[in-house]
Structure 1
Amino acid sequence: MAPAKRADAVRAGGAQAPGGPAGRLGFKKRQQQQRTWRANSRHVFSGSVHEGQGFAFQRKQKIQQEYKKLLRKEKKAQISPESQFTERYPEHLKHLYLAEEEMLRRQRKKEKQPLPEEECSTTVKRSWEDTPHPIITPKRNKKKTSNQKAKEEYERVQAKRAAKKQEFEKRKQEREAAQQRYKKKKMEAYKVLSKRTRKGQPDLNLQMEHLLRKIQEKT
């Protein structure tokens, strides 16, 4: 009876029973649809610390490429200084500029050549008489550069140190002289007080004279 029922079900619904092979395939398809792959939300940029060559590295490479492009463009745009007077001028004016340059070169050579004393004196007098003398105006004080300021500061500090050193040496000499005078007085007092009579007793007369001299010096 079971096969007959299954055949009736196939004829009526046009599909197999849930336990058949078609039912198993449908279940697998549904399972695959549920397990769709999702990108890792944490992995925003390409690369990472472990993989290397991440977003920061790619950005750095891109900046380097742009910088190299700019350098290449600047090199192409640069023109050699020798070709400024020959290549940039138009053809119909080129000979004029070259002739002027040659004339200036000859004038410089003539100026460099030394003249005899008489000719020099006459030329100087004529040039002095011919040229108008400008009114001399006092020049404004130019702003000092950082190097000049640093040099002046260094010289000021060195002068200050030299003055301090000189004062220290002077005080040292005065102190040494005072110590020598004090030692000399001490030795004189010791010699006076250490003197004794023939009997070996201290000489009171010399001691009294020494005390009187001290009192007179103080007064």
Structure 2
Amino acid sequence: MVKPHVSKGKQLIHSSSSRSRNYKPFHKVFGNVHEGQGYADKRKRKIINQYRKIRKHMLKEKKESSQQMHDEKTDKTRTVKEETSPKFKQPRKEAVSIIKEKKTKRTDGNRKSKLTRFSKVEMEFKQQKLIKEKQAQEAQKIREEKKAALDRYKSSKRARHKKLSQKSKKGQPIMKYHVEHLLKKIKSDKL
């Protein structure tokens, strides 16, 4: 009698003939179960493909825009050449002089300068910076005060411990300092 072979929790059926049927799972699993069965790899490949697709479109758009820029540059060179011809020289000088006059009018006017968005934001930023600096200085003062108070407390504690821990030659505590300490405590409580 042939015993059935057990493999990974599934039984393989052996018939009396020498042929055997191999168990094939319905879903093909890639990778380790604990590591996500290869889904991370699939996701990674998908993201890479999307990136390549986007990059391809970007390069295509860049080529088209560079061709347009090249066309515009050639158009501009034509217009500049036409303007530099003797026909167009006189009006161009007049235009430059008009622009200069406008600039001088703007600067000469005694109007109040309007605040632009940038200047408003800059002022707000400076105010916020001043506020932060003040807060930092206050925090620093508080830290220094706390440190000074802690130092005073530690020094008094050290002195008190030094006095109270004094012993006689036989190892008995000296009561004189204990009594003085208690007396100080009582006086401070009364006040």
Larger radius of gyration: 1
Same fold (TM over 0.5): no
